[in-house]
Amino acid sequence: MALLEVKNLTKNFGGLTAVGDVTMELEKGELVGLIGPNGAGKTTLFNLLTGVYEPSEGTVTLDGQLLNGKAPYKIASMGLARTFQNIRLFKDMTVLDNVLVGMSNHHSSHAFSAFLRLPKYYLSEAELKEKALELLSIFNLQDDAETLAKNLPYGQQRRLEIVRALATEPKILFLDEPAAGMNPQETAELTQLIRQIKKQFNITIMLIEHDMSLVMEVTERIYVLEYGRLIAHGTPEEIKTNQRVIEAYLGGEA
Ligand SMILES: Nc1ncnc2c1ncn2[C@@H]1O[C@H](COP(=O)(O)OP(=O)(O)OP(=O)(O)O)[C@@H](O)[C@H]1O
Ligand SMILES: [Mg+2]
């Protein structure tokens, strides 16, 4: 059984099928791409997987547990974390506090484990802070710990979003266009970082990205959506030369 199993997933908005009959799987430790022209349904698919939207049809299963009908916070506590296409940070809070918020959410969602006195959930304030700073240092943000999030340069705000998502200790991390708006140098750093996250945290990552060189460079498999439907699936090499995919992209630009 795969870590995440998506079966015949559909989301209709009135007459529009934003996601139609999508079936896919994510295995533990994989780095998988999700691409497709604008409006293909990529973000809607993330919204379905993380509980923001309820599917019109189909199922999502994590570790054999059905996620349908569960609230986003519940799904987050079960191990799915994400970043957003448009950055969502607590802009008037410090970099460190943005990360601590992610950690304490995780903390309180395990009230039952705390009750059982499992040591993990008895981290002191100081220990939590130390852990947050450790995460920040992996992302080269430790010197900005006391900076307000809104005062960080754009590329670093994007990185902070990823740190915050990782602070919840997810099994799967969904990244929605993490390189959007980044300059080439920031994108190159991000590419390196995504590789490092995968290696260091041994988590599963699904990446939506329009920057094809980034997607082709870091992912092991790629799913391609067009008008809500999966039109292709394969290795970066296979996707690069897939006629159907080439047409979808050229059609979108014409
Ligand atoms: N809440 C909503 N209500 C109605 N229509 C929606 C809603 N959310 C998305 N859509 C529509 O669903 C389709 C898929 O949108 P979605 O944002 O998932 O695409 P996307 O692949 O993420 O595109 P982009 O690359 O531009 O981010 C679009 O036609 C969009 O207008
Ligand atoms: Mg989108």
From the CA of 36, give the closest atom in ligand 1. 21
Separation of 146 CA from ligand 1 center, angstroms? 36
Could you say which DSSP state residue 85 is in?
S
Query: Helix (H, G, I), strand (E, B), or coil: what is residue 11?
Result: strand
Q: Ligand 1 site: residues with CB under 6 angstroms?
A: 13, 16, 18, 36, 38-44, 85
Separation of 39 CA from ligand 1 center, angstroms? 5
- Side chain identity at 167, as an amino acid letter? A
Indicate which ligand has the atom closest to the C-alpha of 210.
1
Per-residue pLDDT of the chain (254 residues; tens, 9 = 90+): 899 999 999 999 999 999 999 999 999 999 999 999 999 999 999 999 999 999 999 999 999 999 999 999 999 989 999 999 988 999 999 999 999 987 764 444 444 444 544 455 556 778 888 889 999 998 899 999 999 999 999 999 999 999 999 988 899 999 999 999 899 999 999 999 999 898 888 899 999 999 988 999 999 999 999 999 999 999 999 999 999 999 998 775 54
The pLDDT of residue 110: 47
Query: Helix (H, G, I), strand (E, B), or coil: what is residue 251?
Result: helix
The answer to whether the beta carbons of residues 110 and 117 sit under 8 Å apart is no
Report d(CA 190, CA 248) in Å as an integer.
27
The pLDDT of residue 84: 92
The pLDDT of residue 127: 80
The pLDDT of residue 122: 57
Indicate which ligand has the atom closest to the C-alpha of 44.
1
Among 45, 28, 22, which Cα is nearest to 233's?
22
Contacts of 233 (CB under 8 A, 6+ apart): 24, 221, 222, 223, 224
